[in-house]
Chains A and B, each alone.
Chain A
């Protein structure tokens, strides 16, 4: 009885050469695992996502800062220009008022001179 069991076990556990399909599957599995294991390593050695986003953020900040600075500079220039224009117009207005004053004085003097001459 025990001999039968033993012989059956020997028959069941005898070394068997693997089929060709098995070896192909095994090679395919090993290759896919290796490539999966290599992928993260490649990312770590190049651009890490965090570093990429940080770089993009810094670049965006620089562009934004330059844009804001340019806009503020334009705004400041426009304000200065409008202020200078207002001052020019005011300066000419003041000048014209005083020229008017001189003109009125000259005119009244010449009128009184004419009156005196006609009276004489």
Chain B
């Protein structure tokens, strides 16, 4: 009887625990209005199933494919939205703020924040850490005629990401995985 009560209690507690656990997947809006205005748009939604399928079609003998396969191992989602416009200020900051506000949630830490006066390009890189392991990455890049949101979900091995250097032109950012979970930055 006591065992049964305990099981019921755990069953009731499970959804609450799931909600409390850090979720590195961002709720990215559809941006359908912006997609119509954009001259070029990239919408990529890769869930675990598609990532697994893509990994099967990567050739181990090809260095780029092999490095990509290494990065994909442990990932459970890649979501990219990128819009390019033919004139300045075609999008509003509020469009991005809907995503940026989610990155104030516990677990997210801002790793890099760059503001370029010359190119007017702002890039923010956030990382979610759980038990000393990066489990999510978010990147928001806003330029006068382009904005990009990238959300990578899963066990991200930054060393493996470094190995992509030269494959996709990924630079070494001297990013080291945080040793402990720091307090979230607002």
Across the interface, which residues of A come within 8 angstroms of B57, CB to CB? 78, 81-82, 84-85
Looking at the complex, which one of A88, A95, A97, A101 makes contact with B46 (CB distance below 8 Å)? A88
CB-based contact B170/A99 at 8 Å: yes
Asked whether A93 is an interface residue with its Cβ less than 8 Å from the other chain, the reply is: yes
- Given A81-B56, A89-B68, A98:B168 Cβ within 8 A: no
Q: Shortest beta-carbon distance, A47 to chain B, in Å?
A: 47
CB-based contact B112/A96 at 8 Å: no
Looking at the complex, which one of B116, B119, B125, B168 makes contact with A93 (CB distance below 8 Å)? B168
In the complex, which residue of chain B has the Cβ closest to the Cβ of A105? B114
Across the interface, which residues of B come within 8 angstroms of A80, CB to CB? 50, 53
Number of A-B contacts defined by CB within 8 Å: 103
Bound complex: CA A78 to CA B54 (Å): 10
Bound complex: CA A109 to CA B113 (Å): 12
Asked whether A102 is an interface residue with its Cβ less than 8 Å from the other chain, the reply is: yes
Asked whether B71 is an interface residue with its Cβ less than 8 Å from the other chain, the reply is: yes
CB-based contact A99/B139 at 8 Å: yes
CB-based contact B148/A98 at 8 Å: yes
Q: Shortest beta-carbon distance, B85 to chain A, in Å?
A: 16
Q: How many residues of A contact B (CB 8 A)?
A: 28
> How large, as a class, is the contact surface on chain B?
35 or more
- Given A98-B123, A99-B173, A84:B50 Cβ within 8 A: yes
Asked whether B10 is an interface residue with its Cβ less than 8 Å from the other chain, the reply is: no
Q: Which B residues fall within an 8 A CB radius of A? A: 42, 44, 46, 50-51, 53-54, 56-58, 64, 68, 71-72, 78, 80, 82, 112, 114-116, 118-119, 121, 123, 125, 139, 141, 143, 148, 150, 152, 164, 168-173
Q: Which A residues fall within an 8 A CB radius of B? A: 77-78, 80-82, 84-85, 87-103, 105-106, 108-109
A-B pairs with lowest CB-CB distance, top 9: A105-B114, A84-B54, A96-B168, A103-B171, A96-B170, A102-B123, A81-B57, A98-B141, A85-B57
Q: List 23 A-B contacts (CB under 8 A).
A: A78-B57, A80-B53, A84-B53, A85-B54, A87-B44, A87-B46, A88-B72, A89-B64, A89-B168, A90-B44, A93-B168, A94-B150, A95-B139, A96-B171, A100-B170, A100-B171, A101-B141, A102-B173, A103-B172, A105-B114, A105-B116, A105-B121, A106-B114
